Chains A and B, each alone.
Chain A
């Protein structure tokens, strides 16, 4: 806790003919963070991947393409033994590939057919209004046929030109079919051009259009059914092979990872050299594993961690399980560096605390608590679980502050100065007068009636939090640069604050004011010595940072305002108390539910972001550097296969 795991650097050296065994053993142990080798001027060269590699990666590509084609999802399945999969891999893979190929080929053919039918249907559709046999449109010696779209009925104007004609006009679609003798064709086409005639191509089919369309629709339905049947077959294939696909994907991925390992390793003509990191406590275990796998022919030797190397040490958190969800918040900002204090355990307390102080409502706490527990149960994703755990921690704190503030969905639980509360008979107990007129501290604490008190109180909460930050900064600095640097860089802030406190006491005429000013100036001088010119420039941040904590009350009040406005609209304006139950009651309940659903969503975002920001900007700004590398051991966490 409070410190990343202690790491050791180790080098594994051996003859090339035991490289494969060594890599196997390391992969199985899943402990060793391999430091990738970059070729330099020395005689060391990057290794060549194992021979089996290309074959395996080909298979992997195949299985992944099948998986994406079938849409196989990551689900929990029974673990299978790799040797079994290995024995049936080739045959099953080929069989699966063939079956899938046949099915998708069939599907493709049907889909093309469907497309062709669709396009001929589109061609015939305009002629359905006139519904003449399509054979009637062609094969005349003395007749000209015009078929197409027009904007208006051309009957009257054609009749002025000639009397021997046959005209079909479908007013609905604007399609016209006109038969005239050929000697009038030129004049008619001139006339048609004036009414923006757009010619239609007569489909090369015979039969009545309506009959043809019915035929096509019948065929389309048949083909759709066939495609559905194929889809069902593919789905069945997916169900049958899902376990196999997941397991073999995992197995092949592992094989590829192993066969490509030499690309990260330094080699000479006949030997190899693996450089990397591992947690110190597991050093002996790894040494033993490598020795057993190679009969003691590979040598593991520790390497001293030099000063420039400290920045490169991969970081593995070392926190109790209950704190571990907060590591996600750390990762979002950046892992701690090796010599730095890991603040996960601190924000495990401060983050939910600030969140609870902001939200502080029993109703929302219960809703969000149930929601988080349900999501945690339903969703098995590893990414969601820590977030839900953080939400649960926050809601526990919110529940505590909700009881302290006596709030339930924006309603006050206790009566306050004559205004009734939600619980009959529960009256506010006055405990302590404050310097602010009209504000009395009691139980429960009515935030909206204690604004000034809360503004002052939250600034003090801020000062406590900031000083915790300076204290951690002091420890970090001491570890990195020694005690004197720590005193000047971080200790000076305590002196400055103490000076300000004494000055305030002096102002209140409890002390000579000079004492405070002297202490303050000593603090500033120390700060200049510790941090240079930058120090005094940062002095005002003491004020702005601590005032920033007033957001605890400000955001809290805005949440109360939204909630009580919803309550007011629902149960005062739409359905006033005392009025009969009716349609308005339902409306009021709908407004109530929607309003609070909205505010529940806001209750995650607003207090969450603000509590997070207070950690990241105000708190971390005092001590945290971050930017550590993730400890990523060479290995694989098996989900679908199990090694015997």
Chain B
């Protein structure tokens, strides 16, 4: 006879996984976007060094994605 065992997941654990996914995935997204912008910014800087400031600013723009992720994670915990 086969007995069916019901396993319960700890809600707190699921919450923690959710928070981790929120930060982790948005972190990846930011990194991917910043990689693209960063490469272009370095390229532009090689042509004209005075673009450093603008390049830096453009590169941190996608940082918002991970900030939102972090805020969502904080809301979950």
* A550 at the B interface (CB under 8 A): yes
In the assembled complex, the CB of B11 is this many whole angstroms from the nearest CB of chain A, namely: 17
Write the nearest CB–CB distance from A326 to chain B, whole angstroms.
14
- Contact yes or no, B74 A610, CB < 8 A: no
Q: Is the CB of B60 within 8 A of A554?
A: no
CA distance A550 to B63 in the complex (A): 12
Interface of chain B residues 23 through 77 with chain A (CB within 8 A):
53-54, 56-57, 60-61, 63-64, 67-68, 70-71, 74-75
| Chain B residue nearest to A549 in the complex (CB) | B67
Measured CB to CB, the residues of A under 8 A from B are: 332-333, 451-452, 455, 544, 547-548, 550-551, 554-555, 557-558, 609-610, 612-613, 616-617
CB distance from A559 to the nearest CB of B (A): 12
Contact check, A554 vs B74: say whether CB atoms are below 8 A apart: yes
Residues of chain A with a CB closer than 8 A to B70's CB: 554, 557-558
Asked if B57 and A610 sit within 8 Å, CB to CB, the answer is: no
Interface residues on B, range: 10 to 19
Given known A-B contacts A547-B68, A551-B64, A613-B63, A451 and B74 have beta carbons under 8 A apart: yes
Closest chain A CB from B51 CB (angstroms): 10
Which residues does chain B contribute within 8 Å of A558, judged by CB atoms?
70
Contact B53 A455, beta carbon cutoff 8 Å: no
A617 to B67 alpha-carbon distance, docked (Å): 15
When the two chains form the complex, which single residue of A452, A455, A613 contacts B61, counting CB atoms closer than 8 Å?
A: A613
Contact of B71 among A550, A609, A613, A617 (CB under 8 A): A550
Chain A positions within 8 Å of B56 at CB level: 609
Given contacts A332-B54, A333-B53, A616-B57, contact A554 B71 (CB under 8 A): yes
Note all chain A residues with C-beta closer than 8 A to B57. Answer: 332-333, 612-613, 616-617
User: With A and B bound together, what is the CA distance between A610 and B64 in angstroms?
Assistant: 9
Are A455 and B71 in contact (CB-based, < 8 A)? Answer: yes
> Contacts of B74 on A, CB cut-off 8 Å?
451, 455, 554, 557
| Seed contacts A551-B64, A554-B70, A613-B61; 13 additional CB < 8 Å A-B pairs | A451-B74, A455-B74, A544-B64, A548-B64, A550-B68, A550-B71, A551-B63, A551-B67, A554-B71, A557-B70, A609-B56, A613-B57, A616-B57
CA A551 to CA B69, docked complex, whole Å? 11
Known: A609-B60, A617-B61. A332 touches B53 (CB 8 A): yes
A610 touches B53 (CB 8 A): no
Closest beta carbon of chain B to A421's beta carbon, Å = 23
Write 30 A-B pairs (CB below 8 A) sorted by A numbering: A332-B53, A333-B53, A333-B54, A452-B75, A455-B74, A455-B75, A544-B64, A547-B68, A547-B71, A548-B64, A548-B67, A550-B67, A550-B68, A550-B71, A551-B63, A551-B64, A551-B67, A554-B67, A554-B71, A555-B67, A557-B74, A558-B70, A609-B56, A609-B63, A610-B60, A612-B57, A613-B57, A613-B60, A616-B57, A617-B57
3 closest A-B pairs by CB: A332-B53, A551-B67, A554-B70
Residues of A within 8 A of B60 (CB): 609-610, 613
A332 to B56, CA, bound (A): 10
Residues of B contacting A610 in the complex (Cβ-Cβ under 8 angstroms)? 60, 63
CA distance A554 to B69 in the complex (A): 10
Within the complex, the shortest CB–CB distance from B66 to chain A, in Å, comes to 9
Q: Please, which residue of chain A has its CB at the minimum distance from the CB of B61?
A: A617
CA distance A452 to B74 in the complex (A): 8
**Minimum C-beta distance from A425 to chain B (A):** 32
Note all chain B residues with C-beta closer than 8 A to A613: 57, 60-61, 63
Give the residues in chain A near B53, CB-CB below 8 Å: 332-333
Please, which residues of chain B bring their CB within 8 A of the CB of A548? 64, 67
Which of A548, A554, A557, A610 has the most C-beta atoms of chain B within 10 angstroms of its own C-beta? Answer: A554
Q: In whole Å, how far is A557's beta carbon from the nearest beta carbon of chain B?
A: 7
Inter-chain contacts of B75 with A (CB < 8 A): 452, 455
Q: Which residues of B contact A612 (CB under 8 A)?
A: 57
Q: Which residues of B contact A332 (CB under 8 A)?
A: 53-54, 57
**Nearest CB of chain B from residue A180's CB, rounded to whole Å:** 63
* Cβ–Cβ < 8 Å partners of B71 in chain A: 455, 547, 550, 554
Q: How far is the CA of A547 from the CA of B68 in the complex (A)?
A: 8
A589 to chain B, nearest CB (A): 31
Closest to B73 in A: A554
> Which A residues are in CB contact (< 8 Å) with B54?
332-333
